[in-house]
Amino acid sequence: MTLKTIRDFDPKGKRVLLRVDFNVPTDDAGNIQDDSRMTKALPTINYLLEKGARLIIMSHLGRPDGKVVENLRLNNVATHLSQLLGKPVKKLNECTGEEVEKASNAMQNGEIIMLENTRFYPGEETNDAEFTKQLAKLGEVFVNDGFGVSHRAHASSYGIATILPAYAGLLVEKEVIALEPLITNPNQPFTVIIGGAKIKDKIALIEQFIPKAQHILIGGGLANTFLAAQGKQVGQSLYEQDKLDLARSLLAKAITLDQIVLPTDVITATEISNTAETQTVSVNAVSPTAKILDIGPDTTDAFKSIIADSQTILWNGPLGLTEFTPFQNGTRETAQAVSELPDSFTVIGGGDTSEILKTLGFPDNKFSHVSTGGGASLEFLSGKKLPGIEALYR
């Protein structure tokens, strides 16, 4: 099967319903704090406009749970998009209805309308048939460029694709091209770095890559559960007591003894703060009163040595509690090692990982590909079919 993209149809004069993921972080006043999700959609938007499309943009913002929430309206998003494009973006206050239909039917080639927050409508997240039909009436063609929402079978990301001719935007195409080889035929040596807190979020990812990766490096709170599963003292650290058997079963699946690499030393503290007094200790010498909050220098060096010999890197999740300065070093040094690989293909999977690395001084251009999907990236890399992507194949 082949992914259908916007190059496969002529947009001129057509009303194109474009789903993007403009769920950008905002402050209490609704001001946009990071517009990277918007800038990454600009190639698709500009392509369609240059080809003469009549563009109707759909997105959600936040979690309004099917109700109108005033500070989650897309007014500021539309204004900012207008500034990025250097041309007007007409913001509507609804997604469906007579006025919206009039506005869409009156559009001229190259004009842009942005609909209101799709999640103000209960039918969005339930993929309600009637709501989907009302959205689909606005356009003649559907384009999905919201990779970050493609794992949800929602009306605006999936339902419309079952009614209108559907195509992938350039960002979705880029994501699929970058991520698919990691699960089909990654260049070896292939190293996967997995951090974060919860094992349940990463089970499928670990299982997917045990047959494919030479090494799987594990840090963050996730590593604590594996260490506890090995019978090590983890003190007051965050770990999942009910997942110890699962951790043991994953370790048992490893193809080689050194495939799954756990910390050998850690940074501990008895309090979590920016002024915490830390200790570096072996994983065999963690105090019962201490918390493990970062990987230690020996572990960091071991990770960096493996990374240096890798042709492909996939990274999802921080290796320490990076919100606090004393526990950032493992993630920072690992990021430095990954960013310095001259010829390797390096992928950062998941929005949180990207944001953390930016905060530590590693912008997206330090890596080969930074995925715009959080849960979507995890599910795609875990081998699951994403409804919003599957609908775009022929």
Handedness of CA 209, 211, 213, 217 (dihedral sign): positive
Domain 6-172 matches domain 181-381 at the CATH topology level: yes
Percent of the chain with pLDDT over 70: 100
Q: Which of 137, 198, 248, 366 is labelled catalytic? A: 198
CATH of 181-381, one of 3.40.50.970, 3.40.50.300, 3.40.50.1260, 1.10.1040.10: 3.40.50.1260
* Active site annotation includes 97: no
Can you tell me the mean pLDDT for 138-162? 97
Q: Which of 376, 256, 268 is nearest to 316 (CA)?
A: 376
**In the predicted model, is pLDDT for residue 351 greater than 80?**
no
Q: What is the pLDDT of residue 359?
A: 92
Q: Which of 351, 373, 374, 388 is labelled catalytic? A: 351
Q: What is the pLDDT of residue 29?
A: 79
Q: Which of 309, 298, 353 is nearest to 331 (CA)?
A: 353
Q: What is the pLDDT of residue 78?
A: 97
Can you tell me the mean pLDDT for 125-140? 97
Can you tell me the mean pLDDT for 4-17? 98
* Active site annotation includes 349: no
CB 346 within 8 A of CB 367: yes
The pTM of this model reads 0.92
**In the predicted model, is pLDDT for residue 305 greater than 80?**
yes
Which region among 133-147, 250-264, 351-365 has the lowest average model confidence (pLDDT)?
Answer: 351-365
Can you tell me the mean pLDDT for 96-121? 97
- Taking 3-state DSSP, the helix, strand and coil percentages for the chain, each rounded to the nearest 5, stand at 40, 15, 45
pLDDT tens-digit readout, 221-251 = 999 999 999 999 999 999 999 999 999 999 9
Cβ neighbour number for residue 182 with a 10 Å cutoff: 24
**In the predicted model, is pLDDT for residue 350 greater than 80?**
no
Q: How far is CA 345 from the centre of its chain?
A: 18
* Active site annotation includes 37: yes
Distance CA 176, CA 311 (A): 19
Q: Which of 125, 139, 53 is nearest to 96 (CA)?
A: 139
Domain coordinates in residue numbering, the chain: 6-172, 181-381
What values do phi and psi take at 109, rounded to 5? Answer: -55, 135
The fold of the 6-172 domain, in CATH, is Rossmann fold (3.40.50)
pLDDT tens-digit readout, 39-76 = 999 999 999 999 999 999 999 999 999 999 999 999 99
Q: Which of 37, 51, 73, 174 is labelled catalytic? A: 37
* Active site annotation includes 198: yes
